[in-house]
Amino acid sequence: ATTMFEIGRLAAARDDGLAPYLEARQLLFRERFELALPRIIDARQRGLPTPRMELEARRVEAMIRLGADEPDVSARLWREVLRDESSGEAERVEARDWLARIRLSGG
């Protein structure tokens, strides 16, 4: 696992969104959605090193948005995953699962 110290060093060495993306993922897994949200937004605005990471960052943001009590934004992001031609079947299955969870929760 990447430590916060390593992420800080990475942030100092790179201008892209890789460091805030990694930090947002760690915070997501700790369910610290309020701290993760500005970092994933920053990461996506700066851009990530590969198209695959850009897609992953959208999925991470969708999970964070739901945790941050923003089900409408989360659902919009998951629908983007469904419409994206570069999404594989696994991503589409995941998106449909999350959209079902959002509907069941009343979001």
Q: What is the pLDDT of residues 48-92, one digit of tens each?
A: 999 999 999 999 999 999 999 999 999 999 999 999 999 999 999
Would you give the end-to-end CA distance of the chain in angstroms?
33
User: What is the pTM (predicted TM-score) of this model?
Assistant: 0.87
Distance CA 26, CA 40 (A): 11
Give the rounded percent of residues in the chain with a pLDDT score beyond 90.
83
* Crossing angle of helices 51-67 and 71-83, rounded to 10°: 150
Distance CA 12, CA 95 (A): 34
Give how far the C-alpha of residue 46 lies from the chain's centroid of Cα atoms, to the nearest Å. Answer: 14
The reported pLDDT for the residue numbered 24 is 96
Give the rounded percent of residues in the chain with a pLDDT score beyond 70.
89
Is the model's pLDDT at 100 over the cut of 80?
A: yes
The SS3 call for residue 69 is coil
Kindly state the average pLDDT of the residues 89-104: 96
